[in-house]
Amino acid sequence: MILELILLIMLAYAVGFIYYGLYRNITARIQGRYGPTIYQTFYDSIKLFSKENSVSYGWMFYLGPIIMATGAVLTLIMVPLFSDGEYLKSITSSSNLFVLLYMMVLGPLGNALAVGAGGNPFGVMGVTRGLTRLMGLELPFYIAIVALIIANGSSSISDIMQAQASGGWNAINHPCLFVAAMVSMVGFMGASPFDIPGAPQEVYSGPATEFSGKFLALLMSQGSIFAFAKLVLIVDLFLGGADNLMMLVVKTLVIFVSIIFIGVVYGRYKVDQAVDFLMKIPTLIGLIGLVRIIWFG
């Protein structure tokens, strides 16, 4: 089981980094550039791990990226990768959606503690923006997940996946919930128009402003692991899960590429605009889906 966990983290690391390389490449092609290779984020990560770190703000500053990485890895091991089969099951048999939702918020809170210890004003601005945005992002996402739990009568991800094998995908059965969760997911993945916390040209790198070397590399690594876990979660909940690795890569890639396209086309919202939008339109769509499930089954 320990071996499986290590293998799972390595798989998520590799796939996440290649996805982010693809993200940079596709963005470049859309902007009329040649763009970097898809391994570029991997090169960046290795280089950052080999850099010296001479910045010191006390132990809380260093603990922040580690808490974030913990949150990402815990999210990853609680999401079942495949709908059936023997491999890479890790601890998913004893996990459920409520614990998962708690684990997904662990990272931003750890980040807030670390940046607060660093005291860089741009970092603090970024964290304030991020936590404000989180209020808007979580609302439609939680409504969609609560509605799914009601519809399936279970908070286990494996049960929801098995129900889809016989009854069809949730994305088709409950389109309102899918739309609400996808709008939230665009924000959770840090794509425009919700890329407010680390907004370049506004607050420099936001929360990552004061991080350098190994800690920046750790932030990047946990970001890619977390991104992969979130994509798998969406595939599990709405697209019926996957039977094998090939199917998983195809389904997550479709979602990831659609998020890239949305992110490249749209500009950035201001903080209040984003929260305003998220609390009105996706929340309303999610509520329609919830009402439909409660009253019409």
Partner 1 sequence: MDIGFHGDNFKWSMEEKGTKSAQSLIEEAIKWFRSKSIFVIAYGTGCGAIEMPPTFTSRYDAERMGITGVATPRQADVIILSGYLAYKTLRRVIRTYEQMQKPRYIITLGSCPINGGMYWDSYNTIKKLDDFIPIDVCVNGCMPRPEAVIEGFMLLQERIKNGEEAGWEKYDKELEQYKKNQNKALGGHIEPSYETDWYNMNSGGVA
Residue numbers at the binding site for partner 1 (CB under 8 A):
24, 28, 31-36, 40, 43-44, 46-47, 50-55, 119, 121-122, 200, 204-205, 208-213, 216
Compute the least distance from the CB of residue 253 to partner 1, in Å: 22
Compute the least distance from the CB of residue 3 to partner 1, in Å: 25
Residue closer to partner 1 by CB (options 16, 286) is 16
Compute the least distance from the CB of residue 218 to partner 1, in Å: 13
3-state helix/strand/coil string of 25-92: HHHHHHCCCCCCCCCHHHHHHHHHHCCCCCCCCCHHHHHHHHHHHHHHHHHHHHCCCCCCCCCCCCCH
Provide the 10 A C-beta neighbour count for residue 119: 11
Residue closer to partner 1 by CB (options 39, 98) is 39
Residue closer to partner 1 by CB (options 47, 280) is 47
Residue closer to partner 1 by CB (options 20, 178) is 20
Compute the least distance from the CB of residue 145 to partner 1, in Å: 35
The set of residues, in sequence order, having a beta carbon less than 8 Å from that of 240 and lying 6+ positions away, is: 83, 161, 164, 165, 168, 169, 170
- b/e sequence 18-57, b meaning 16+ C-beta within 10 Å: bbbbbbbbbbeeeeeeebeebeebbebbeebeeeeeeeeb
Compute the least distance from the CB of residue 111 to partner 1, in Å: 16
296 and 224 Cβ atoms separated by less than 8 Å: no
Residue closer to partner 1 by CB (options 53, 132) is 53
DSSP percent split of the chain into helix, strand, coil, nearest 5: 75, 0, 25
Residue closer to partner 1 by CB (options 69, 216) is 216
Compute the least distance from the CB of residue 98 to partner 1, in Å: 37
